[in-house]
Structure 1
Amino acid sequence: MVIIEEEDTTKEFRRLETALTDVMKQIKEITRVAKQRRQLIKRMEPLAEENEKLKEARNLSEKNIQRAQRERDFVESNARDLEYQKGVLTEKLATVFEQVRSQSEQLAAVSSQLKSACKQLERKTEQLDSVSKQKAGYHHKVKAQFDVLVQEAKVQKESFDAIVTAIKSMLDCVDLELATQHDGRWQRSDTVVQRCKAAWENFKIFNRDTIMTIATHVLTVVRSHYPTIDLQSIGGGFTKGLSDAETQQLEDEVEDTAKTLAGDIDLFGETDGNGEAQ
């Protein structure tokens, strides 16, 4: 009986020892899992901070996109206004230069008439001197003819002055001032004609300078986006083998972008440093 109890006790002791061993293993496993969990939490802390930074960056990016969209809308509006103003100014300039050309032709005709009248006056004066020396009795008649010629010259001179006065306002439109002589009289007709021609040449120079300004701005924008681009090849024109239809298609595709870039250029000093109308 005692032997049976000892065997039962031994078995129970072994069972308890096995159970204790299992419990110790579970405790070790729990300790290992807890340690890994702490390590995992420490590793996730930088990720959480990085996630917050990414959220801030995303919010900042959205704000930048909204600001860029507002700026783009503002630039497009300015481009449309500039295009309209350019069209109106071009029409006015074309009208003014057409009037200047017509007045120049009239001035040339009047100048020719004045020169002819002066020559006639000189011939008449010589004739009058000759007649005066030969026939003193015809003095009053010759004097009357001379007065008529003088009156005609005055009338032609007044007509010329009226034409010069009318064209002065047109020359002022293109920043050309009609200078006067020391005695207060207008300059000669050939000088006025030269000023009219100079106005036309200034207009052509303005157009060439405008094209150069726009081309420089476009190439600068292209270089800012593509620093390694070969501008020499762009200066050579279109790619070889490009048909007229393909060229027209490319021009249609870049038309809106061209209008936007043109809006960045202030040709007439109508905007301040912030790109807003004065």
Structure 2
Amino acid sequence: MTRTVQQLFDLTGKTALITGGSRGLGLQLAHALGEAGAKVMISSRKADELEAAVAELQAAGIDARWVAADCAKDADIARLADETLQRMGDVDILVNNAGASWGAPAEDHPIEAWDKVMNLNVRGYFLLSQIIAKRSMIPRKQGRIINVASIAGLNGNPAIMTTIAYNTSKGAVINFTRTLGAEWGKYNITVNAICPGFFPSKMTAGILKMAGEENLAAHAPLRRIGDDEDLKGLCVLYASDAGKHITGQWLAVDGGVSVVTGG
């Protein structure tokens, strides 16, 4: 029997793990998956922020729990996987969102900062995807992996932004998504990426203050920056059976900025 649209988007009975899920875009994605019916496990480094985020999710009627972990550290990634699988059972949806940025001119960019960004934004995505896939998705021949990239991975930056490591990492995430989607299709695992533009967050606070939110919005065809709803629809599409025939893809959610900047 052909399912209805509502049935295709329903995530009831699914379990999702969201890294960087205590605030900003990660918390928005946790809300999206939880509102669609999934149980959610969120992770970040700070327990107090996780407690507040889980309280917010639970107040919205979402079955939510947390594990504090630093996804730049191998041991923490392994522990996060162990605790999630033990407490929540199999993981149906993995959202790789934890990330870091660093601002410095390329000629003076500290190598330690380069490594910090790459370890979290690329290596951490790979290691957690590998562990969750081997232990939960591949044996069951099903899974959804959603990688949060950025329009910064599509092209260069305006002069006020000097974030070469971040941009490079997000470009890597896009091709990681394509390659993993191609390789793991045989296991019925889809791998897709979201490329946000400017959204209010702790990471973008400095740029928003320096450039001005109104000025940044003026450069978008839709004349706005992202809000706390704009990633929800795409996230649920990728996570649900509505998107079961989509893999290895990325989509910019940026008000059209990448259209006019050549992304």
Please indicate, yes or no, whether the TM-score normalized by the shorter chain is above 0.5. Answer: no
Larger strand proportion, structure 1 or 2?
2
Larger helix proportion, structure 1 or 2?
1
- Give TM-score scaled by structure 1 length: 0.18
